[in-house]
């Protein structure tokens, strides 16, 4: 059904748009750019920063373009003298309460407020600074996120992100008027509240108020220390996003260049988290099958549906809000931590290195991984399994600091032993990817045949819908799995914690019928993670996702259980999935946390 | 070859279903039973807690969040917005002097310094015996009869320093 059309003029150009379109959207259709700060396409309208004001002929007031729907016969000027002046004043007023310490700010160059003040050439300081000394104290309590109120312009993007997209509500608007600030419960430190460290607020903060804790200097220190053997692992989602840091299109596959850059920075070995993603599939797959066996053969009541445990933001979310469902979580560590535990045991042994002299660095699209690496139980090797976690953005910073011309690098490939991967490991970065990888392997283990989808692409689990469902029936199974003959495996996939919350409420009521659920904390999965290059929109996330699927299709090996290095690992070290060594190194426990 | 040390961490899973309730939790539950558990029940419940406890403690806010299935930050955000919903402990009697322009012009500063002198407390603080808190309020809607002062739920209009002393003396007698 076509919507009612509204006719209006923007800068004297006539346009007809759907009813309910905002002036901002209509102007974009005519390629007029109206600056915005509090507005973000991923979250609801707020209309509080006022930089998007426009002039409406016949009206004395300047409406906010992001929050005003179009009306019949409207005549809008997006850049009249009055608008320009008002907009400049708005930016100057925002700057009057902003700690414009740009040269020392981690967001320098990526800050939306900085860009705007550059555009409008603000600088005559006609307003008194309202910056409060007490706000200059930065909250460094969390290993993932730092919060600096002195740089906050109170646009509330973070609050809306935390509530709407993630349903965490760790951040809120507290107090009122000139005392209004973005706060946690009772202004507690970020590490002491329900925050899942997903970093989505960082991705949407227009200034340097919310940023990741950066460990670039510590990593450089380790790299330059000749007594340390420094290995680096790269997550699936980084290889389709790091190019954005160097002006490439989102979704450009730059795996080879990234490996080359890491080697030039000086890492001793460049390895791949995709390897441990493949390993995760084997462990998690067997865990699921053992739970199904317990239910169908032994007549026990294991915790089903089983849920994936690769996303540390999701883990912490569940620990806080659904502690009664912790049993349902797979006990598998995330690929990052599996890699760390193996690097300092199996890999160190084979390379003849002392794990005490090893430093494991991971490059992740994620800020929650920083928290995960610091969890006390993540010391399976006897040492801190993963020493430092850097985001994709921080890797961009390192490459620039090292003076490497990224775009001109030749492709190089990963080092061996923990570096080989399959297409199944690559798609771990997409929502539905873990499920797709698991189904490719589980179906083949059970039936001895490939999954019945053309080109191994399990389309029903792909895409950006909030909750996806799929079912697969096992027929003509191998004799050892005959209890699964004719069984239909039902799976659910969700991404973004707000969607996860809806699904968990259903799981709690026990009426989903799912056997296996994949959950990723960030929208679109890891490719939309809190550590990915800025900006982020749905279109950008889709491009990154198709980049990963392309990478998968280009791989020769596309099923986790075919990874030769994983096979070698089981033969010579772990011996069997869910075995004694796996239990020590690759599995973990979860804690119930308070709802504060 | 280095020796491997494996650390085993014992895990205690706390049972999330508690089988006892504190006094505050019980009180909040009763209020939620009465006012409902929707988001718009938040204000009356917070007001009821303040009426009974004189402020919103951390425990009370956590209990309210739990009952209404809201985040604690949301409860705190709402509570901190309203001057009348205190999040720090207050005295038995709460004195609020209107600070808005009309009362300011009619001499609310004198009223405040009179009370500060009489009770030996600073604006924004509570007397050491816990009997009085001295605060300011935004417009109380009595601009035509300013300056005004609110003690608990009682309004005192067109007050002077002399009148203030009498009012406070009455309350001193009433609350031992």
Domains of chain A: which residue ranges? 5-93, 99-111+121-212, 285-330+424-533+548-586
Chain A CB contacts of B81 below 8 Å: 173-176
> Of B58, B81, B104, which residue sits at a domain end?
B81
Q: Which residues of B touch A168 (CB under 8 A)?
A: 71
Task: Indicate the number of domains in chain B.
Answer: 2
Selected from 3.40.950.10, 3.30.420.40, 3.40.1410.10, 3.40.50.970, the CATH number assigned to the domain covering A285-330+424-533+548-586 reads 3.40.950.10
C-alpha span between A566 and A286 (Å, rounded): 15
Question: DSSP strand E in A383-528: where?
Answer: 388-391, 467-473, 488-495, 516-520
pLDDT at A53 over 70: yes
Tell me the β-bridge partners of A22: A69
Evaluate whether B132 touches B93 at the Cβ level (below 8 Å): yes
B56 found inside a domain: yes
Task: Specify if B6 maps to a domain.
Answer: no
* A5-93: CATH topology: Ubiquitin-like (UB roll) (3.10.20)
Can you give the residue range of the structural domain that contains B114? 93-174
What is the C-alpha separation between A75 and A87, in angstroms, rounded? 19
Q: Are B73 and A184 in contact (CB < 8 Å)?
A: yes
User: Scanning every residue of chain A, which has its alpha carbon at the shortest distance from the alpha carbon of B17?
Assistant: A324
Residues A253/A240, Cβ–Cβ less than 8 Å: yes
Q: Tokens 């002036």, residue? A: A23
Instruction: Please name the residue that has the structure tokens 């608008």.
Output: A83
Q: CA of A301: how far to CAs of A104, A294, A327, A408, A589, in Å?
A: 56, 7, 12, 57, 20
Nearest CA of chain A to the CA of B2: how many Å? 6
Angle between helix A312-321 and A497-509 (nearest 10): 50
Determine the average pLDDT of the residues in A98-104: 91
3-state secondary structure at position A51: coil
CB atoms within 10 A of CB A290: 15
For residue A532, the tally of other CB atoms under 10 A from its CB is 34
Catalytic residues of A: 284, 287, 310, 330, 369, 372, 377, 526
> What integer pLDDT is reported at residue A135 of this predicted model?
76
Closest chain A residue to the Cα of B57, Cα to Cα: A186
**Pair (B68, B137) in one structural domain:** no
Interfacial residues of B (vs A; Cβ cutoff 8 Å)? 1-2, 4-7, 9, 11, 13-14, 16-17, 58, 61-62, 65-66, 70-77, 80-81, 87
Smallest CA-to-CA distance from A121 within A92, A94, A150 is with: A92
CATH of the domain at B116: 3.40.30.10
pLDDT of residue B19: 62
Across all residues in chain B, what is the average pLDDT?
87
Residue pair A393/A382 in contact (Cβ under 8 Å)? The answer is no
In chain A, whose CA is at the least distance from the CA of B81? Answer: A175
What whole-number percentage of chain A has pLDDT above 70?
Answer: 100
H or E segment to which residue B108 belongs: helix B108-119
DSSP type of residue A186: G
For A99-111+121-212, the fitting CATH number among 1.20.200.10, 3.30.70.20, 3.20.20.70, 3.40.50.720 is 3.30.70.20
A297 has pLDDT over 60: yes
Given an 8 Å threshold on Cβ–Cβ distance, is A183 in contact with B1? no
Mean pLDDT of A364-371: 96
Cα(B5)–Cα(A591) distance, integer angstroms: 23
Tell me: pLDDT of A124 over 80: no
Q: Which of A163-172, A450-459, B2-11 has the highest mean pLDDT?
A: A163-172
Average pLDDT, chain A: 93
Non-local CB neighbours of A498 within 8 Å, separated by 6+ positions: A164, A165, A166, A167
Which parts of A53-102 are beta strand (E)? Answer: 55-56, 74-77
Tell me, what DSSP letter sits at residue A53?
A: B
Closest residue in B to A322 (Cα–Cα): B16
Cα dist. A437→A63, A310, A549, A586 in Å? Answer: 50, 13, 12, 18
Alpha helix (H) ranges present in B16-57? 23-35, 42-53
Q: Which of A147, A163, A174 to mutate to test the interface with B (most CBs of B within 10 A)?
A: A174
Give yes or no: residues B141 and B116 share one domain.
yes
As a whole number of angstroms, the distance between CA B31 and CA B63 comes to: 11
The pLDDT of residue B17 is 52
The answer to whether residue B33 is domain-embedded is: yes
Return residues 127-166 of A near B (CB < 8 Å).
163
Query: Is A564 a residue whose pLDDT tops 50?
Result: yes
pLDDT band at residue B15 under the 50/70/90 scheme: very low
Q: Report DSSP letters for A540-555, one per residue.
A: HHHHHHHHHHHHHHH-
Torsion angles phi and psi, residue B120, rounded to 5 = 55, 45
The count of other CB atoms within 10 Å of the CB of residue A455 is: 8
The pLDDT tens digits for B151-164 are 988 999 999 999 99
Q: Lowest-pLDDT range, A55-64, B16-25, B141-150?
A: B16-25
**Cα dist from B109 to A56, A317, A369, B169, whole Å:** 45, 49, 54, 19
What does the pLDDT average to over A81-91?
93
Residue A448 above 80 pLDDT? yes
Are A456 and A450 spatial neighbours (Cβ–Cβ below 8 Å)?
yes
Q: What is this model's ipTM?
A: 0.89
pLDDT digits (tens, 9 = 90+) for A454-509: 889 999 999 999 999 999 999 899 998 989 998 999 999 999 999 999 999 999 98
Say if A196 is an interface residue toward chain B (CB within 8 Å).
no
pLDDT in the model for residue A545: 96
With an 8 Å Cβ cutoff, are A381 and B16 in contact? no
Rounded average pLDDT over A188-213? 95
B87 → chain A, closest CA residue: A186
Sheet holding A138-139, edge to edge: A138-139, A145-148, A210-212
Helix (H) or strand (E) holding A527: none
3 state SS of A71: coil
* Residue whose structure tokens are 């490497």: A404
Kindly state the DSSP code that residue A234 receives in the 8-state scheme. Answer: E
Nearest-CA distance from B169 to chain A in Å? Answer: 33
Is B143 in the same domain as B113? yes
Region A213-231: mean pLDDT is: 96
**Which residues in chain B are closer than 8 Å to A381, comparing Cβ atoms?**
4
| Sign of the alpha-carbon dihedral angle for A576, A577, A579, A583 | positive
Q: Is A218 exposed, middle or buried (0-12, 13-18, 19+ CB in 10 A)?
A: middle
**Look-up of token digits 């009997």:** B131
Cis, bond preceding A305 (omega within 30 deg of 0): yes
Q: Give the phi and the psi of residue A317 in degrees, each rounded to 5.
A: -60, -45
Please report the pLDDT score of residue A512 as a whole number: 85
Position B98 in a domain: yes
Residues in A touching B62 (Cβ below 8 Å) = 595-596
Confidence of residue A62 (pLDDT cuts 50, 70, 90): very high
**CATH number for the domain that contains residue B69:** 1.10.10
Confidence of residue B9 (pLDDT cuts 50, 70, 90): very low
A471 beta partners: A490
A194 has a chain B CB within 8 A of its CB: yes
Say whether both B68 and B101 belong to one domain. no
Q: Which residues of A touch B17 (CB under 8 A)?
A: 324
**Which of A176, A184, A591 lies nearest to residue B11, judging by beta carbons?**
A591
Contact pairs from chain A to chain B, CB under 8 Å: 83
Residue A332's beta-bridge partner residues? A587
* Average pLDDT score over residue span A355-363: 96
Alpha-carbon gap, residue A78 to A32, rounded angstroms: 8
Same domain as B103, residue B64: no
Say yes or no to pLDDT of A361 above 70. Answer: yes
Q: Which residues of A touch B13 (CB under 8 A)?
A: 323, 326, 591-592
What are the start-end ranges of the H helices in A62-109? 81-96
Closest CA to A566 of A270, A375, A335: A335
Last residue of a domain, one of B56, B81, B106: B81
Nearest to A8 by CA among A56, A61, A63: A56
Name every chain B residue with its beta carbon within 8 A of the beta carbon of A346. none
Measured CA to CA, the distance from residue B100 to residue B147 in angstroms comes to: 9
Q: What is the pLDDT of residue B11?
A: 43
Q: Over 90: is that where the pLDDT of B1 sits? A: no
What's residue B63's pLDDT?
Answer: 95
Give the tokens for residue A148.
């600096």
- Token pair for A53: 């004001």
Q: What percent of chain A has pLDDT over 90?
A: 88
How far apart CA A515 and CA A290 sit, in angstroms, is 12
- Distance between CA atoms of A582 and B8, rounded to whole angstroms? 14
Handedness of CA A168, A233, A386, A531 (dihedral sign): negative
Q: How confident is the model at residue A168 (pLDDT cuts 50, 70, 90)?
A: very high
A301 pLDDT band, cuts 50/70/90, is confident
Question: Average pLDDT of A56-60?
Answer: 92
pLDDT band of residue A153 (cuts 50, 70, 90) is very high
- Kindly state the greatest CA–CA separation across chain A: 81
Of A2, A39, A34, A6, the C-alpha closest to A20 is A6
B104 domain-assigned: yes
Q: Are B103 and B30 within one domain?
A: no
Which residues, including other chains, have CB under 8 Å from residue B163's CB and lie 6 or more apart?
Answer: B156
Peptide bond into A206 cis (omega under 30): no
To the nearest whole Å, the CA of B132 is away from the closest chain A CA by 23
């Amino acid at each position: 059904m076509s919507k009612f059309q509204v006719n209006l003029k923007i800068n004297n150009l006539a346009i007809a748009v759907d009813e309910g379109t905002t002036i901002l959207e209509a102007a974009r259709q005519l390629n007029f750019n109206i600056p915005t700060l509090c507005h973000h396409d991923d979250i609801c309208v707020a209309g509080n920063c006022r930089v998007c004001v426009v002039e409406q002929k016949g009206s004395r007031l300047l409406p906010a373009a992001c929050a005003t729907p179009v009306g019949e016969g409207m005549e809008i000027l997006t850049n009249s003298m009055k608008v320009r002046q008002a907009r400049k004043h708005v930016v100057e007023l925002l700057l009057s309460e902003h700690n414009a310490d740009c040269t020392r700010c981690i967001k320098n160059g990526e800050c939306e407020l900085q860009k705007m003040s550059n555009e409008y050439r603000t600088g005559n300081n006609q307003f008194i600074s309202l910056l409060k000394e007490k706000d200059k104290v930065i909250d460094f309590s969390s290993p993932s996120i730092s919060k600096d109120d002195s740089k906050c312009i109170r646009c509330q993007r973070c609050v809306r992100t935390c509530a709407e997209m993630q349903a965490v509500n760790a951040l809120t608007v507290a107090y009122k008027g000139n005392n209004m600030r973005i706060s946690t419960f009772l202004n507690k430190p970020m590490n002491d509240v329900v925050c899942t460290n997903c970093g989505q607020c960082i991705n949407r903060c227009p200034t340097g108020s919310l940023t990741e804790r950066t460990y670039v200097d510590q990593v450089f220190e380790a790299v330059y220390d000749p007594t340390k053997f420094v290995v680096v692992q790269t997550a699936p989602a980084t290889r389709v996003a790091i190019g954005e840091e160097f002006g490439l299109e989102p979704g450009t596959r730059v795996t080879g260049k990234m490996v080359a850059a890491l080697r030039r920075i000086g890492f001793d070995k460049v390895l791949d988290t995709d390897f441990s993603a493949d390993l995760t599939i084997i462990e998690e797959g067997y865990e699921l099958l053992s739970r199904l066996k317990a239910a169908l053969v032994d007549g026990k009541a294991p915790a089903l549906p089983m849920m994936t445990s690769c996303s540390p933001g999701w883990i912490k979310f569940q620990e806080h809000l659904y502690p009664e469902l912790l049993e349902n979580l797979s006990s598998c560590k995330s690929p990052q931590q599996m890699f760390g535990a193996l690097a300092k045991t199996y890999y160190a042994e084979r390379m003849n290195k002392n794990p005490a002299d090893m430093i494991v660095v991971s490059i992740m699209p994620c800020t929650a991984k920083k928290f995960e690496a610091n969890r006390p139980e993540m010391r399976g090797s006897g040492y801190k399994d993963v020493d430092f976690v850097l985001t994709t953005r921080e890797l961009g910073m390192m490459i620039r600091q090292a003076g490497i011309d990224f775009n001109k690098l030749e492709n190089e490939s990963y080092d061996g032993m923990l570096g080989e991967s399959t297409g199944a490991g690559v798609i771990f970065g997409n929502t539905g990817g873990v499920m797709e990888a698991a189904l490719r392997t589980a179906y083949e283990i059970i039936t001895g045949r490939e999954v019945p989808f053309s080109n191994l692409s399990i389309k029903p689990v792909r895409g950006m819908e909030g909750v996806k469902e799929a079912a697969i029936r096992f027929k003509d199974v191998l004799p050892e799995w005959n209890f699964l003959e004719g069984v239909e495996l039902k799976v659910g996939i969700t991404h973004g914690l707000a969607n996860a919350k809806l699904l968990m409420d259903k799981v709690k009521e026990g009426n989903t019928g799912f056997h296996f659920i994949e959950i990723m904390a960030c929208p679109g999965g890891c490719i939309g993670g809190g550590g990915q290059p800025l900006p982020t929109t749905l279109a950008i996330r889709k491009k990154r996702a198709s980049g990963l699927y392309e990478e998968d299709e280009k791989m020769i090996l596309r099923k986790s259980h075919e990874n030769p290095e994983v096979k070698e690992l089981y033969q010579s070290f772990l011996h069997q999935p869910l075995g004694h060594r796996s239990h020590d190194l690759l599995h973990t426990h979860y804690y119930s946390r308070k709802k504060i | 070859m280095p020796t491997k040390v494996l650390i085993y961490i014992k895990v205690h899973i706390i049972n999330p279903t508690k089988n006892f309730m504190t006094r505050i939790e019980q009180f909040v539950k009763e209020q939620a039973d009465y006012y409902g558990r929707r988001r718009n029940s938040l204000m009356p419940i917070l007001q009821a807690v303040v009426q009974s406890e004189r402020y919103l403690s951390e425990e009370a806010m956590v209990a309210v969040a739990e009952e209404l299935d809201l985040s604690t930050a949301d409860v705190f955000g709402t509570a901190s917005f309203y001057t009348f919903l205190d999040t720090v402990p207050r005295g038995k009697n709460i004195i609020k002097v209107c600070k808005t322009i009309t009362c300011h012009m009619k001499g609310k500063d004198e009223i405040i310094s009179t009370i500060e002198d009489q009770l030996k407390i600073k604006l924004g603080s509570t007397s050491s015996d816990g009997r009085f808190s001295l605060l300011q309020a935004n417009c109380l809607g009595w601009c035509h009869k300013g300056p005004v002062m609110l003690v608990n739920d009682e309004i005192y209009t067109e007050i002077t320093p002399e009148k203030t002393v009498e009012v406070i003396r009455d309350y001193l007698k009433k609350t031992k």
